[in-house]
Structure 1
């Protein structure tokens, strides 16, 4: 029975929380010994990824959607998203991998707030155009990571990297300037994290509000502010996405997925999925496998 592998950050780099990888070098590695954990098969990550393309282009699937990433563009992948690297295209660039702990350690609360919004995949397109300045900074981050002789190497890299992330998020602020307030973002992040952890145990939004010690009305306001969706809509969207992930990336039967997601019986599970998508889980699997 195939489930979706979850790949963690390298143990020997967890203290540092950041890694820069050359895409050309990465694609040439021998992954055969990893079996289903190869990055070229569907998997989840428990860290953030910024993929910068310096030459060529690649079509990359994230959560069942295919994105074209061209030269001087980047793709953002958030923790828990399902993706698989493309082994067919010829492209150059960098992977910047980093953990939440890295952001909290090296960035100010104000910077962390903006960067967290940048990785809100529920709302924003994950492909970004990079100007010459940002491409230069990306190259400098990669170079400092490999060659820096400085004692404060991590601080230098984080300073350079923060400029890239700030400039990336500027697009989102222009698109959604009315959501530029920090007020409530901690609660939204807590709600999102709770859903990812607790969704198999219940689909009642009131229960999430109670766990967060806030009212249903307040939770609704927070959800609308950061996603343009009610709390119930946001919860249902996530559950449907998780069902799609399992249908397309595992060999679990529809019945097994039904119980895995937290439904008591398949009939209600099928109705729930069809109401949201217009097709049954089995029809979805047939189309997407």
Structure 2
């Protein structure tokens, strides 16, 4: 698999974000070869075509589509590069966390690290035009950099992301709250690093220093599901990814997630998908949908 890293010194100074159109970044990797990046990506398609395979989703790329891609998500593009008009927004987590002293900022955005909802929205023409106007302001600061340009860039980017979070949350009936409920965001962050080793609510409630009841209430308020259901979502997502993009067999995957028996993993998987792990992998290899 190909892995791309962020070019932090592109503008002659360390800046952990970038923005541009397809004309500015013509070597963007729109290819049907498995790849990933180490940074966040939001892609605004004014004109789009084809399909993006993004982890466990297949997304139709249409006009006025906005895509949200988290670091290390695996993807393949099946598009006609000659018929694409889009804008890119790239950034590293530290770009915000250092400036705002908020290590959870990216986690608070509903469209990043979301394991079940579609990782795109579609908007109307005049809304896309508004985003383009903001991008032009950011691009002007990047190309004519001044002592206060980084502050302006952060402010514009922060504004854009919060507005997008509101639209995404409204589209998929989620909470757009980013200022409270720290427990729920810490839980989401812990799931990113601990899900292969720990699958119990007890572990996470102890780690966060709250009761199971309090944790469940926080998760329900923020994400609309129980803490158990969210753990299951993360486990299922990781298992699917390994079935699609690794050569590990069922026994090896069961060991990785500490299932006591491989058939316990198979029962868990079939309960959530109505397919056995083998059927799911075979369907993908035979060209069926990954969803």
* Offset of residue 218 of structure 1: 0.9
Corresponding residue SS for 2:109:
helix
Whole-angstrom distance in 1 between the partners of 2:41 and 2:282? 30
- The equivalent of 2:133 in structure 1 is 136
Whole-angstrom distance in 2 between the partners of 1:56 and 1:104? 32
Check whether the contact 2:174–2:223 (CA below 8 A) recurs between aligned residues. Answer: no
Q: In the superposition, relative to structure 1, how do residues 10 and 168 fare at CA in structure 2: closer, same or farther (>3 Å)?
A: same
- List per-residue Cα deviations over 1:135-194 (Å, max 9, x = no partner): 22224334543x22423332232233233223322324546586647331x211211121
- List per-residue Cα deviations over 1:95-145 (Å, max 9, x = no partner): 211122112234586x94896245362465432324321222224334543
Corresponding residue SS for 2:196:
helix
Check whether the contact 1:94–1:142 (CA below 8 A) recurs between aligned residues. Answer: no
Check whether the contact 2:46–2:128 (CA below 8 A) recurs between aligned residues. Answer: no
Whole-angstrom distance in 1 between the partners of 2:259 and 2:232? 13
Check whether the contact 2:110–2:176 (CA below 8 A) recurs between aligned residues. Answer: no
- List per-residue Cα deviations over 1:254-280 (Å, max 9, x = no partner): 222222233233121211211221111
- The equivalent of 1:69 in structure 2 is 61
Check whether the contact 2:45–2:64 (CA below 8 A) recurs between aligned residues. Answer: yes
Q: In the superposition, relative to structure 1, how do residues 240 and 122 fare at CA in structure 2: closer, same or farther (>3 Å)?
A: closer
CA RMSD of aligned residues (A): 3.2
Aligned residues: 276
Whole-angstrom distance in 2 between the partners of 1:27 and 1:182? 37
Counterparts of residues 246-265 of structure 1 (less than 5 Å): 246-265=242-261
Corresponding residue SS for 1:131:
helix
- The equivalent of 2:16 in structure 1 is 17
Q: Which shows bigger deviation, 224-233 or 84-93? A: 84-93
- The equivalent of 1:97 in structure 2 is 90
Structure ranking higher in helix proportion: 1
- The equivalent of 1:35 in structure 2 is none
Whole-angstrom distance in 1 between the partners of 2:229 and 2:214? 15
* Offset of residue 286 of structure 1: 0.5
* Offset of residue 219 of structure 1: 1.0
- The equivalent of 1:34 in structure 2 is none
In structure 1, stretches of 5+ residues that fail to align are 32-37
- The equivalent of 1:238 in structure 2 is 234
- List per-residue Cα deviations over 1:17-42 (Å, max 9, x = no partner): 2122443454547x7xxxxxx97533
- The equivalent of 2:288 in structure 1 is none
* Offset of residue 8 of structure 1: 4.4
Check whether the contact 1:27–1:87 (CA below 8 A) recurs between aligned residues. Answer: no
- The equivalent of 1:50 in structure 2 is 42
> TM-score, with normalisation over the residues of structure 1?
0.80
1:59 aligns with 2:51: yes
